[in-house]
Amino acid sequence: MVAGFAPKRASNNTLRPVTIRQLINAEQPHPDADFIVDGAELGQLTFVAVVRNISRNATNIAYSVEDGTGQMEVRQWLDSSSDDTQKAAEIRQNVYVRVLGTLKSFQGRRSLSAGHMRAVVDYNEVLFHRLEAIHSHLQITRGTHGAPGTQADAGQGLIRGQPNDIGAYSGSNAQNVLDQYKSLDELPRRIMGIVTQEAENHHDGVHVNHIARILKNVDVSQVKSAVEDLSSEGYLYTAADDDHVLPTA
């Protein structure tokens, strides 16, 4: 890294689509520093890869995965009080998986700590992710300069009912939201629109009470239930705590 160069802060309220090669080549100024990709700090990330080996332990499952650009270990910690074990049973060797998590380094060896992991059922998602990773790289390195189609614009379009197109796993291409969420029921769809819009101003996550206030006439318990379902399906992820959420797209 060039002396005196301060890395850009990637927006913490988005999920960065990457390739494994980008993670292997990511810079880390010192052991406690955030990883840096394309000159931007790397927080939550996602990639699609194929599982080549599985090692099951009492407290976690280690997967060796590769995406054609490189190979990395993904470690998923198991919680006996949840259904993680059942979900892990769906992931097998030579199956493509979608991984959400954070990059870690221990004794010089990099791995991914998975917060969410699921099998890919449509190969189009593999191709889509590769395009998303390219788009994210170009947007960060070249910039958008406030061009139309930003995340805030997409969120406002959802609230106002404007016909925006929506991408499935965009960390930066949120102008494509509607197609992604049109299959959802009305309440989850409205929640996704609100979270997408409000995320820019709530880097620690959008609180469920805040969502309920915007929705009006919807009980907080209903919002919490819908948010939990959206989180388990990979649309949202928890931020500051379980009541603060951000969109994975």
Query: What is the spatial distance between Cα 83 and Cα 11, in angstroms, rounded to a whole number?
Result: 31
Q: Which long-range contacts link 145-151 to residues 24+ away (Cβ below 8 Å)?
A: 148/175, 149/173, 149/174, 149/175, 150/174, 150/175, 151/11, 151/14, 151/196, 151/199, 151/200
Asked whether the beta carbons of 44 and 15 are under 8 A apart, the reply is yes
What is the sign, positive or negative, of the torsion defined by CA atoms of 210, 216, 168, 151? negative
**Predicted confidence pLDDT, tens digits, the chain (249 residues):** 444 445 555 444 568 999 999 999 999 888 888 899 988 888 889 999 999 999 998 888 999 999 989 999 999 988 755 545 565 678 999 999 999 999 998 888 899 999 889 999 888 899 899 999 998 888 888 865 444 444 434 333 333 333 333 333 333 343 455 556 777 888 998 898 888 888 878 877 889 999 998 898 889 999 999 998 888 877 888 887 888 888 875
pLDDT in the model for residue 46 = 93
Tokens matching residue 152: 């805030």
pLDDT in the model for residue 3 = 45
pLDDT in the model for residue 240 = 76
Supply the angle between the helices 208-215 and 186-198 in degrees, to the nearest 10.
110
Following DSSP, what letter does each residue of 71-131 receive, concatenated?
Answer: EEEEEEE--TTTTHHHHHTT--TT-EEEEEEEEEEETTEEEEEEEEEEE---THHHHHHHH
Query: What is the spatial distance between Cα 243 and Cα 11, in angstroms, rounded to a whole number?
Result: 20
Burial of 120 (0-12, 13-18, 19+ CB in 10 A): middle
Structural domains in the chain plus CATH codes: 16-142 (2.40.50.140), 151-247 (1.10.10.10)
What does pTM read for this prediction?
0.54
Query: What is the spatial distance between Cα 52 and Cα 49, in angstroms, rounded to a whole number?
Result: 9
pLDDT in the model for residue 82 = 53
